[in-house]
Amino acid sequence: MSVHPDVARVIGYVVGTIAFVALNASFLVWLERKVAGHIQRRIGPKEVGPFGIFQSLADGIKLMSKQLIVPEGADGLLFRLAPLLVMIPAVMVYVVIPFGPALVARDINMGILVIFAFASINVLGLLLGGWGSNNKYAVISATRAVSQNVAYEIPMLLTVVTLVMITHTMSLNQIVAQQPTIKDWYLFPWNGSIMLPIGFLIFFICSMAETNRAPFDLGEAESELVAGFHTEYAGMGFGLFFLGEYSNVFVGCALASIMFLGGWQCPFGLYPGVHWMLIKTYFLVFVVMWVRWTYPRTTLYGLLNLSWKVLIPFALLNLLVTAALLKVF
Amino acid sequence: MNVLAQDPALETFVLNMGPQHPATHGVLRVKLVLDGEYIVEAEPVLGYIHRMHEKMGENRTFAQFMPNTGRLDYLSALSYNHGYVCAVERAAGIGVPERAEYIRCITVELNRISSHLLWLGAYVLDLGGFTPLLYAFDDREILLDLLEGVTGARLTYCYFRFGGVYNDIDDDFVTGLKGFVKRMRTRLPMYHNLVTKNIILRKRLEDIGFITPELCRKYGATGPVARGSGIDYDVRRHEPYSVYPEFKFDIPVYPKGDSMARYLVRMDEIEQSLRIIEQGLDKLPSGPVMAEKVPKILKPPKGDYYHAVEAARGAFGVRLVSDGTNTPYRLKLRSPSFSNLSLFAEAAQGLLIADAIALMGSLDLVIPEIDR
């Protein structure tokens, strides 16, 4: 009996993607704790395995061995559905991310659109989880998460639209192919529009806010809302929210490195490949962690003011200037 | 059971914050009536860690009550030791050698710094910044080691005695303290760079959580809370005790009354405490650290005595009514956090939850001291 190559390809990518998401999340949890430790003049995890590298594995086993408790009065269906709604889209978006010249599950020519379509489902999961928990802290947190996501998707998409006007394609692999060396990166103002660095900044800030990372972690502001939307979740229910968050952080940083930093292309034109993609992405992930462990949390109105009064006007300006420049030249 | 409000705009809900909540730092419970995220009403509910300290004081001899004073406010235990010891000394007419007075002032100011450092870390933690906590604990650790060397304890001190202190300070303590003062002088600018100048922190503290001087007077707020509202009141200056008149130090007062003002008052107080410690070490006289002939069994003459000291959180007063026996007839402890918390209900009205947390943190509450 032989397996059709297309079927084998699909199975290979499904297994590979899920394995990567899980490994990546456990690596990021470990990295986050190490980074936090060193920023705070501690060592971080060091007992489980060399440099504590198996710490997240131990945590994962602990989480999986726990019971998923559905609190009294909670909406059982929504409560169980919410972690899946967070996790599944987070895995799905990996389909279109090009890790290498050929290492992409489906090189769809609408790649960017697919990612944003799936990423928007995430917030629905948070809302349902918060609502279904029958917990006031969770409800407050869910409403916060929704208004935050709505506010930050606008400038993010405006920036992406601006970039697509320059690249003339929505295929992520082709965007990468357009940036073979460091001087071709869309980060720099000479590659199409003088507003590109601002666009990168807006995109990066928005991706931090979209993934509920500090200083925009209002959804789970632990000193105000205990643990926010996942207050009532135990075991793997909480674990899936956690996995989803880290895989979203990775996707946000991967997108930034694909669209602005040349993805898997080597900055110096030597040996392009998956390693460059990972180096650039994990560097951005490190920056995200660095910010988290340095800054205090903003408040909700501070966050919305930043989006509506600063980021959206600048994103619109970016769009107009770029459109004008493209028309003139 | 769901009853719809007549007008959805008037709908409110009750949120029970505490007694187990990350931001209440202990077992304080606040019943919040919320309109969305805005606070309509905030009612602090006390009593979860009530231990009858005042009643215990009435049933024990004066010396037996000493350890209790260190357990009122575990973060600045020495100030509370000091207040009680001063009150009993005033009642029984016991004199204190000068060296002991200097040692008391130095250790109390050290304890004030360690209390403010912990507050700084915990406050920024309330605001969502994790890292300053570890930095503050790093400094506090040196302090605790120093104090452990002379007092024998790290947190709940019982160091002072009627008529002096239990243990003389040694050269290790003096050199260690000089090193700490020098280190702290370089660390304070770092805290200002890392925390005070942070744009997010400023946006969260400035012009938010106002406490007016009238509100302070109404509820009897003292300490950094009152000084952050422009009330220039410090027991060390206005009802001087011990050898504080010998020291040159400023009372930081910020008239604005927002959370930032209270934050700055405490940061400046660390600086002023360092000044007091430096002067204390320079002027430290030699001599005994215990008064001679302090009777083992104290029987203060009949009367009503009061002594207040400036603790890290405000004015701590001890009222002692003696009926001439070896136990007090009445022992009233006036603790600053209780008054400081009382104004929270009024000051928190109309704030967002996040700002109310910032306001509560800026009051620097220690719950065991509120409940006593």
**Is residue A151 pLDDT above 50, yes or no?**
yes
What is the helix (H) or strand (E) element at residue B321, kind and residue range? strand B314-322
Q: What residues in B contact A294, CB-CB < 8 Å?
A: 129, 131
pLDDT at B5: 60
Q: Which range in A2-11, A98-107, A268-277, B46-55 is most confidently predicted, on average pLDDT? A: B46-55
Pairing verdict, β B303-311 and B314-322: antiparallel
What's the pLDDT score for residue B4? 59
Q: Is B12 on the interface with A (CB under 8 A)?
A: no
Flag whether residue B220 sits within 8 Å of chain A, measured between CB atoms.
no
Q: Which of these, A254, A203, A211, lies nearest to A96 by C-alpha position?
A: A254
pLDDT > 80? residue B6: no
Q: How many helices (H) and strands (E) does chain A have?
A: 13, 0
Q: Does residue B351 register a pLDDT over 70?
A: yes
Is A181 domain-assigned?
yes
Separation of first and last alpha carbons in chain A: 59
A300 chain-B contacts, CB cut-off 8 A? 37, 352, 354
**Residue B213 contacts A where some CB pair is shorter than 8 Å:** no
ipTM (interface pTM): 0.79
Please judge whether A41 and B135 are an interchain contact, meaning their C-beta atoms are less than 8 angstroms apart. yes
Enumerate the β-bridge partners of residue B316: B309
Chain B hits for A136, CB-CB cut-off 8 Å, are: 13, 15
Pick from A60, A310, A83, A277: which is nearest to A209 by CA? A310
What is the Cα–Cα distance from B224 to B123, expressed in whole angstroms?
Answer: 14
Contact between B357 and A223 using a beta-carbon 8 Å cutoff: yes
Residues A187-197: pLDDT tens digits? 777 777 777 88
Distance of residue B224 Cα from the nearest chain A Cα, in angstroms: 23
Q: How confident is the model at residue B356 (pLDDT cuts 50, 70, 90)?
A: confident
Contacts of A55 (CB under 8 A, 6+ apart): A29, A30, A33, A45, A47, A48, A49
**Quick check: B355 contacting A, CB < 8 Å?**
yes
CB contact under 8 A, A224 and B127: no
CATH superfamily of B8-371: Cytochrome-c3 Hydrogenase, chain B (1.10.645.10)
d(CA A89, CA B212) in angstroms, rounded, equals 51
Which residue among B124, B128, B200 sits closest to A221, beta carbon to beta carbon? Answer: B128
Closest among B8, B6, B45, B16 to B344, alpha carbons compared: B45
Residues 6+ apart with CB under 8 A from A25: A56, A242, A243, A246, A247, A250
CA B286 remoteness from chain centre: 30
Name every residue whose Cβ is closer than 8 Å to that of residue A16 and which is 6 or more positions away in sequence: none
The CA distance from A223 to the nearest CA of chain B, in Å, is: 5
Between the alpha carbon of residue B157 and those of residues A104, A272, B269, the distances in Å are: 65, 64, 22
Chain A residues with at least one Cβ partner in B under 8 Å: 36, 39-42, 136-137, 140, 214-215, 217, 221-226, 293-302
**Residue A18 domain flag:** no
**What digits encode the pLDDT tens for the residues A156-181?**
888 988 888 888 888 888 888 888 87
Nearest to A296 among B22, B124, B134 (CB): B124
CB contact under 8 A, A298 and B201: no
Contact status, residue B305 vs residue B324, Cβ threshold 8 Å = no
Instruction: Kindly tell me the sign of the dihedral angle through the C-alpha atoms of A264, A216, B27, B141.
Output: positive
B131 in contact with chain A, both atoms CB, cutoff 8 A: yes
Q: How many CA atoms lie within 13 A of B163 on its CB side?
A: 14
DSSP state of B306: E
pLDDT of A240 strictly over 80: yes
Burial (Cβ within 10 Å: 0-12, 13-18, ≥19) of residue A180? middle
For residue B184, pLDDT over 70 is answered with: yes
Q: Provide the pLDDT confidence category of residue B265 given band limits of 50, 70 and 90.
A: very high
DSSP assignment of A111-175: HHHHHHHHHTHHHHHHHHHHHHTT-HHHHHHHHHHHHHHHHHHHHHHHHHHHHHHHHS---HHHH
**Which of B24, B155, B13 shows the shortest CA–CA distance to B77?**
B155
Query: Are B99 and B362 spatial neighbours (Cβ–Cβ below 8 Å)?
Result: no
SS3 B124: helix
B205 in contact with chain A, both atoms CB, cutoff 8 A: no
Q: Are B162 and B97 in contact (CB under 8 A)?
A: no
Per the structure, how many domains does chain A have? Answer: 1
Chain A residue numbers touching B128 (CB-CB < 8 A):
214-215, 217, 221, 223, 296-297
Cβ-Cβ contacts under 8 Å, A298 against chain B: 200, 203-204
Q: With an 8 Å Cβ cutoff, are A40 and B131 in contact?
A: yes
For B327, the token pair is: 């136990």
For residues A205-219, average pLDDT: 81
Among B124, B134, B355, beta carbon nearest to A299? B355
Residue from A41, A213, A223 to probe the interface with B (highest B Cβ count within 10 Å): A223
Q: pLDDT confidence of B1, banded at 50, 70, 90?
A: very low
**Pair of tokens at residue A131:** 């609502």
Query: What totals of helices (H) and strands (E) does chain B contain, helices first?
Result: 15, 8
Q: Characterise A305 by phi-psi region: left (phi > 0), alpha (psi -120 to 50), beta (else).
A: alpha
A248 located within any domain:
yes
- Which residue of B15, B33, B127 to mutate against A (max A Cβ within 10 Å)? B127
Q: Are B160 and B69 in contact (CB under 8 A)?
A: no
Q: How far apart are CA B59 and CA B74, in angstroms?
A: 22
CA gap A132, A73 in Å, rounded: 9
Instruction: Judge whether residue A1 has pLDDT over 50.
Output: yes
Question: In chain B, pLDDT over 90 holds for what percent of residues?
Answer: 12
Quote the strand ranges of B148-212, DSSP E: 160-161, 164-165
- The nearest CA of chain B is from the CA of A39 a distance in Å of 7
d(CA A22, CA B137): 35
B200 to chain A: which residues are within 8 Å by CB?
215, 295-298, 302
Q: Express each pLDDT in B82-124 by its tens digit.
A: 999 999 888 888 888 888 989 999 999 999 999 999 999 889 8
> Distances in Å between the alpha carbon of A246 and those of A28, A32, A105, B218?
7, 10, 20, 50
Question: How confident is the model at residue B9, as a pLDDT?
Answer: 67
Distance CA B367, CA A24 (A): 43
pLDDT at B116: 92
For A96, the 3-state DSSP assignment is: coil
Q: Is A214 in Cβ contact with B204 (below 8 Å)?
A: no
**How far off is chain A from B288, nearest CA to CA, in Å?**
42
> Token digits for B366?
């220690």
Residue A296 and residue B204: Cβ atoms within 8 Å? Answer: yes
Please give the interface size between A and B, counted as residue pairs whose CB atoms are below 8 Å apart: 73
Residue B16 backbone class (left: φ over 0; alpha: ψ -120 to 50; beta: rest): beta
pTM of the model: 0.85
Binary contact (B128, A297; C-beta < 8 A): yes
DSSP state of B351: -
Give residue-wise pLDDT tens across range A52-72.
Answer: 888 888 888 888 888 888 888
CA nearest to A40 within chain B: B131
Query: Residue A159 sits in which domain range?
Result: 69-328
C-alpha angle B224/B230/B235, rounded to 5°? 50
**How close does chain A come to B139, measured CA to CA in Å?**
12
The whole-number average pLDDT for the span B25-51 is: 86
State the DSSP H helix or E strand holding residue B304, giving kind and residue range, or none if neither. strand B303-311
Which residue in B353, B358, B357, B315 sits closest to B337, CA to CA?
A: B315
What pLDDT, on a 0 to 100 scale, did the predictor assign at position A271?
79
Q: Residue A200: inside a domain, yes or no?
A: yes
Nearest alpha carbon to residue A192 among A183, A204, A201? A183
Q: CB-CB: which of A137, A214, A224 is closest to B357? A: A224
Question: B195 to chain A, minimum CA–CA distance in Å?
Answer: 9
User: Is B13 touching A (CB cutoff 8 A)?
Assistant: yes
Question: Which whole number is the average pLDDT over A78-86?
Answer: 87
DSSP designation for B301:
P
The distance of A288 to chain B (nearest Cα, Å) reads 14
Instruction: Kindly state the average pLDDT of the residues B150-166.
Output: 87
Contact A292, A319 (CB under 8 A): no
Interval A110-126: pLDDT, tens: 888 888 888 888 888 88
Is the pLDDT at A103 greater than 80? The verdict is no
Strands (E), B143-298: 160-161, 164-165
CA geometry: angle at B21 spanning B15 and B27, to 5°? 105
Interface test with A, best of B2, B28, B124, B130 (most A CBs within 10 A): B130
Residue B228 contacts by C-beta under 8 Å, 6 or more apart in sequence?
B211, B254, B256, B257, B258, B261, B262, B263, B264, B265, B362
The shortest CB-CB distance from B131 to any of A217, A293, A297 is to A293
Give the residue from A33, A224, A226, A293 with the most B CB atoms within 10 Å of its CB, the best one to mutate.
A224
Distance from the A294 Cα atom to the nearest Cα atom in chain B, whole angstroms:
6
Residue A268 lies in a domain: yes
In a domain, A5, yes or no: no
Backbone angles phi, psi at B335, to 5 degrees: -100, 140
Contact B330, B58 (CB under 8 A): yes
Query: Could you report the per-residue pLDDT of B224-254, keeping only the tens digit for each?
Result: 999 988 888 888 888 888 888 888 888 899 9
